[in-house]
Amino acid sequence: MNRFAEHLHRWHTSGYIQQGTCTLATPDSLCIPRIHNKTAASLAKSVGQTIVIGPSPLPMAGFLVRRAGASTQSLRPRDSETQVFLEDIPVVDANDLEAQLKRAFSYRQAALLNTGELAVCGPTIDRCGLLLACLHHALFVTYLVERLDQGAKLPDENAQLKSLIPLAKPIPFSTLPDDTFPSSLDRAGKALVNLGLVDSVFGNASYRQNDQIRISRTGAPLDDLEKSTVEVSLHTASNTDKKASSELPAHRAIYQQTAARVILHGHPRFSIAASLSNSFNTWPEDVPSIEAAPGSQELGERLAKALQAAPVAMADGHGPFAAGKTFGEALHHLIRLENHCRQQILEKIELSVPR
């Protein structure tokens, strides 16, 4: 299996694209020919970027385009991942694909075909993977929010949602061994990814040891943290801070103002959708909800205050932060919140039937 096929396999197992249907082209060659071969190869050469085009395995992308109407030119998700990496998502006509994608890629790195297929461009195949993860996350969360707040709009919407049935099963509560913290940090990151509480390159994790914080690096894959962490001071900022996760201000504030020894931050989709919905009215009373910009000192201060009285707090549109004495304890609270939101949302969606 060549390196391109390995990436496609990873994207398929992560649920970003359908297996065996995705086209991948670099400026030098058509690496994986499937659908849209000529378009991908020509675009890769003209824009000088790696191009990936393919359908999503879930129906959310197609639903959102059809719900928005034929005249829609872009989707504007409200989750923080989209606002940081994508801003908005151009919708392009598959009948004029090359010209419209070239225009979309002149100001964005991801687009959605009106057929429900996904398209991204980036300087490297790794960047394309990050964009696919972000695009998949954005479409999933946006559809859940729309469905909660507006109900079903399409005659085949409920029938096609059968693909979500596997997601109805609760996330199993996972236990993490009480071993040394460096090993536990790596295990916790893998658990977050494997349980679907975060995509590999998002979220962050840390532990405190005396006056030092060991935290995942910025952009580090959480399922491979063995060599992707950095140690920073609990109290004093330094140049090393630039290598740490962008949420270091939050981790630092939480450790300074609570007795926490570990922190986990995930981007679980159902929890985020619930936090953005205007009609989700069964939010757990013991989980504080906070509004503040990701990565800001304000978010850190608000989280620190909230986590003095609760083990987990939700940054609306961004994701929950869980703090505790062990990674197992923090992971338990993230799973509990996501399972609650998952159950409530799926029950509400099932009741929301077109009349």
Count other C-beta atoms under 10 Å from residue 13's C-beta: 9
Count other C-beta atoms under 10 Å from residue 83's C-beta: 17
What is the predicted pLDDT for the residue at 31? 78
CA distance 95 to 35: 14
DSSP assigned state of 325: S
pLDDT in tens, the chain (355 residues): 467 788 888 888 888 888 778 888 999 887 777 778 889 999 999 999 999 999 988 888 999 999 999 889 999 999 998 888 898 999 999 999 999 999 999 999 999 999 999 999 999 999 999 999 999 999 999 999 999 999 999 988 888 877 676 666 788 887 776 666 778 899 999 999 999 999 877 899 999 999 999 999 998 889 999 889 999 999 999 999 999 999 999 999 999 999 999 999 999 999 999 999 999 989 999 999 999 999 999 999 999 999 999 999 999 999 999 999 999 999 999 999 999 999 999 888 874 434 3
Q: Give the helix, strand, coil percentages of the chain, each rounded to 5.
A: 45, 15, 40
What is the predicted pLDDT for the residue at 12? 84
190-204 exposure pattern, b = at least 16 Cβ within 10 A, e = fewer: bbbbebbbbbbbbbb
| Same fold across 3-168 and 181-351 | yes
- Residue in the structure block whose two tokens are 């205007």: 278
CA distance 135 to 118: 8
Tell me the three-class secondary structure of 54-91, residue by residue.
Answer: EECCCCHHHHHHHHHCCCCCEECCCCHHHHHHCCCEEE
Closest CA to 270 of 284, 251, 259: 284
Three-state DSSP at 263 gives strand
pTM for the model = 0.93
Closest CA to 348 of 274, 256, 298, 276: 274
In the chain, the amino acid numbered 312 is: V
For residues 249 and 296, the answer to whether their CB atoms sit within 8 Å is yes
How does DSSP assign 18-54, residue by residue?
-TT--EEE-SS-EEE-SSSHHHHHHHHHHHTSEEEEE
The CA angle 165-275-247, to the nearest 5 degrees, is 110
DSSP assigned state of 296: -
CA distance 230 to 206: 9
- What are residue 262's phi and psi, to 5 degrees? -140, 155
Closest CA to 217 of 232, 233, 238, 196: 232
Both structure tokens of 262: 């570990």
Report whether CATH 3.40.225.10 matches the domain 3-168. yes
Closest CA to 119 of 24, 45, 41: 24
Domain boundaries defined on the chain? 3-168, 181-351
Topology of domain 181-351, CATH: L-fuculose-1-phosphate Aldolase (3.40.225)
